[in-house]
Chains A and B, each alone.
Chain A
Amino acid sequence: MSEDYIIEMLHITKEFPGIKANDDITLQLRRGEIHALLGENGAGKSTLMSVLFGLYQAEKGIIKKDGQEVQIKDPNDANRLGIGMVHQHFKLVECFTVLDNIILGVEDTKHGFLEKEAARKKVMALSEKYGLRVDPDAYVSDISVGMQQRVEILKMLYRDNEILIFDEPTAVLTPQEIDELMEIMRGFKKEGKSILFITHKLAEIMAVADRCTVLRKGRYMGTKDIAGTTKEELSRMMVGRDVQFSFEKKECKPGETLLSVKDLVVPSKVHKNNAVKGVSFDVHAGEIVCVAGIEGNGQSELVFGITGLEKASAGSIRLCGKDITNASIRVRSRDGMAHIPEDRHKYGLVLDYSLEQNLVLQRYWQPEFEEHGVIKAEAVRKYSEGLIDKYDIRSGQGPLTPARAMSGGNQQKAIIAREIDRNPSILVAVQPTRGLDVGAIEFIHHSLVGERDAGKGVLLISLELDEVMNLSDRILVMYEGEIVGEFRPKDTDVQELGLYMSGAKRNTAGKEGIAV
């Protein structure tokens, strides 16, 4: 053996009902490298990593550590071999403190009592060493997503793991936090730790990874040295065709006002102040209006207010000329408002319902699907098969797949199919591409522009500045619950937007807006 591999996964095959999630996949991790794992949603990345971490048992294939074959039956085995994992969806106990979460499962005890002082010292030392800022005594339910992730990372370090798996760690982070994480990963590499890094974002791979293994639909596509490859090549390997990174849109011809928000005030769920403090703007037919901003500046609450998930405490909202400030969610939806929610698991899907049941979640009550209170099962089946086909929603068992068993990207596609197919006048899309691969992002971007070109109004809330610049016809920057600037993408750039987003600049004239 010439190569020094710390972990080798050889010819791994893992099946789920109706689908081969991993089909003869080989992945070799060199000691001390950052190895990226790239693939579309549902390509089988999380499954492969779960096999390595002992959450799933592969039907075929072997795993070697330092050249020796090993059996990993559960996460404890993985831990003993020095393998740690930060999951795509964090696994923390919300009502425990940060410190308790970190030591959970490996607590020291003395006469049956917890011995936390040594643990605290070790955690703080690690936190210091790698720049992982956490508050050890805060409750997990109170800390930001970014800090939760740092807690997950500290959990691995606390257990002295030397092989660190990151499953889509950047999907939930702000741009600043992503930069920080990249720095932290480089630090790990310097310490001699080996890293498996799952992401969809090619730029991140180009920035930190040494090598990259690509999966497509459960199959191994190859491994590349980052130094000798390009974004384009990697994305072609991943999707199986060329991907456009930006595209030409037709000129925007705004029509009548579809959504009109005036002096809207929405209370916050977490603190006593209002999260949205008197926001006004219009969305016209044939226009994509984008609300940009750093997470937590009132965008979520703005959407809650507009869609009716939260009651506005002042101000008014008009949809196609009709006042809907106090209308129920059902009325808003019936009158032409569609909503792609920020949290697809919490709001977007009933995870224990099948795909077809989820596809009619917003219309099961319409005459097309209901007669005398009975659901027309055949109509539902036919309709959902149509959507699955049209939007290329991939799943193990078609319309009958439980939504829970679908990959994140396909779950998102299902939501988008459902919302767009309702033929709404106004589409409110909140971070519709969060955590998705380039193929899916391209698809969603085309869908949104398609809606705009069909004369619909689109209100897009996004944290990704590239997306904002690429898609929008008008940009509103939100900072601390207010709109602090309004731009056209061709008159501004990412740097300027960044200044407004961070509150360094604000534009009072923006209140009147630019003429359309």
Chain B
Amino acid sequence: MNKKKSLAENAKFVSILASLISILVGLLLGFILLLILKPSDALGGMQAMLGTGFSSLDKFGKVMYQAAPLMLCGLSVGFAFKTGLFNIGASGQYTMGAFFALIGAIVLQLPWWACLLLSLLGGAIWGVFPGLFKALFNVNEVITSIMFNWIAMFLVNLLIANIPVMLASAWGASNSDRTAALASANPGAIIPKGGLDAVFGNSSWVNISVFITIVVAVIMWFVLEKTTFGYELKACGLNKDASAYAGINAKRNIVTSMIIAGALSGLGGGTYYLAGTIQYVLEKSILGMGFNGIPVALLASSNPIGTIFSALFISYIQVGGAAMQPSFSSESTNIIISVIIYLAAFALLIRGSIQKLLSRKKAKEAES
């Protein structure tokens, strides 16, 4: 076959175009919402949302910093999805990863890379349960992982509160509602900036985690597309019966897939809390990062490489959204962000219409 592919047949082109169009529509609707909420500040708000990320190197550093854990949670959800599992437990795995990393950093005084490895382990442990329950007892992974989100949050809060050395108060600060600042507890556990801080105008946010994450994304892509392991996982996700027929051990694959998904989310928790800028605060709500992994994965159609870009995009508008305060309350910026993300997920719908449009055009050309 050396026939030239028409544009409509070029699936990659169409799906990227569809994502772009849906993002645009989302932004437009977001703007309309701003107009309704506060017409006088709408333009400024939109500018803040769209401009902030690029307004200063420091802000762009923040975009990259937040993109890393988002990307990892997105990879986690996407990976499980390819195996036919809906990993709604990314949040709990993320929390566990953060906890393991912080234990490594503060209690065990380990260097940053060892702490990251621990975060992988923490997330993996939290992924194994929904996987096992699904494989052995056919319990829906959605239910188990939602429960495990809560268990992770309360368990981690309980443990941190009861390990005095973990708290900021043990390291010269006055507050005991959060973990110690790494700068005072163990500077060696802070993920190195690798000279990026110089490039990004002394940004306190940026570090090498975004690059580590991109490497992880490429590895995940390779695993899914190029290895027999990925072939098996995807076969299970696409057709359980046919993969059983082909002698693929579905139970083992469900468990491994959840372990890997958990490890990815866990690493996300590690990269976020080992940056040295954020301390884990004991709160009674589930961390949102894991849930944000769901739209990241959806927007990228679970493609690991696409996840890199969708995470950067969502991180970008989140940083922009934060800059819209105080003229807009944080609730209304959250609504706008959600609308944009929600519409971005319409990419699939738009993909179909583009394909139709292009092929109709082609038919017309053929006629004339």
Task: Give residues in A with beta carbon < 8 Å to B.
Answer: 15, 17-18, 59-60, 307, 309, 328-334, 339, 341, 346-353, 357, 361-362, 364-365, 370, 373-375, 377, 397-398
Complex contacts, B246 vs chain A, CB 8 Å: 329, 333, 361-362
A347 touches B247 (CB 8 A): no
Query: B238 interface residue, CB < 8 Å from A?
Result: yes
* A373, B228: Cβ atoms closer than 8 Å: yes
B residues 222-261 in Cβ contact with A at 8 Å: 226-229, 231, 234-235, 238-239, 241-249
- Evaluate whether A373 and B242 lie within 8 angstroms (CB atoms) in the complex, with A328-B247, A353-B235, A398-B1 already known: no
By the criterion CB–CB under 8 Å, are A18 and B1 in contact? yes
Complex Cα spacing A256 to B241, Å? 33
- Residues in A whose Cβ lies below 8 Å from that of B198: none
B12 within 8 A of A: no
Q: How far is the CB of B150 from chain A (nearest CB, A)?
A: 32
Nearest Cβ on chain B to A236's Cβ, whole angstroms: 30
Given A17-B9, A350-B239, residue A59 in contact with residue B226 (CB < 8 A): no
A-chain residues with CB within 8 Å of residue B249 when the two chains form the complex: 328, 330
Give the contacting residue for B228; candidates A15, A339, A347, A365; CB below 8 A. A365
For the complex formed, measure the closest distance between the CB of B104 and the CB atoms of chain A, giving whole angstroms. 30
Residue B284 lies at the interface, judged by CB distance under 8 Å to chain A: no
Q: Please determine whether B226 and A375 come into contact, CB atoms closer than 8 angstroms.
A: yes
A307 contacts across to B, CB distance below 8 A: 245
The 10 closest A-B pairs by CB, nearest first: A330-B247, A329-B247, A347-B245, A59-B363, A350-B239, A352-B238, A361-B246, A346-B241, A17-B9, A350-B242
Residue contact B241 to A374, C-beta cutoff 8 Å: no
CA distance A309 to B238 in the complex (A): 18
Contact at B363–A377, with CB atoms within 8 Å? no
CA distance A374 to B231 in the complex (A): 10
Q: Which residues of B contact A15 (CB under 8 A)?
A: 363
> Which residue of the partner chain A has the closest CB to B236?
A350
- A349 CA to B248 CA in the complex, in Å? 13
What B residues does A357 contact at CB under 8 A?
A: 231
Q: Are A350 and B229 within 8 A (Cβ)?
A: no
Q: Are B363 and A347 closer than 8 Å at their CB atoms? A: no
Shortest beta-carbon distance from B322 to chain A in Å: 40
Residues of B within 8 A of A352 (CB): 238-239
B242–A362 touching, CB < 8 Å: no
Bound-complex Cα distance A373 to B232 (A): 11
Within 8 A of A (CB), among B205-233: 226-229, 231
Q: Contacts A17-B9, A329-B247: A348 and B242 contacting too (C-beta < 8 A)?
A: yes
Q: List 18 A-B contacts (CB under 8 A).
A: A15-B363, A18-B3, A18-B9, A59-B363, A60-B367, A309-B244, A329-B246, A333-B246, A339-B245, A341-B245, A346-B242, A347-B242, A347-B244, A348-B245, A351-B238, A362-B246, A362-B247, A375-B226
Q: Are A373 and B238 in contact (CB under 8 A)?
A: no
Contacts known (A329-B245, A341-B245, A362-B247); A350 close to B226, Cβ less than 8 A = no
In the complex, which residue of chain B has the Cβ closest to the Cβ of A365? Answer: B228
- Which residues of the other chain, A, contact B231 by a CB distance below 8 angstroms? 357, 364, 375
Known: A18-B1, A18-B3, A362-B247. A374 touches B242 (CB 8 A): no
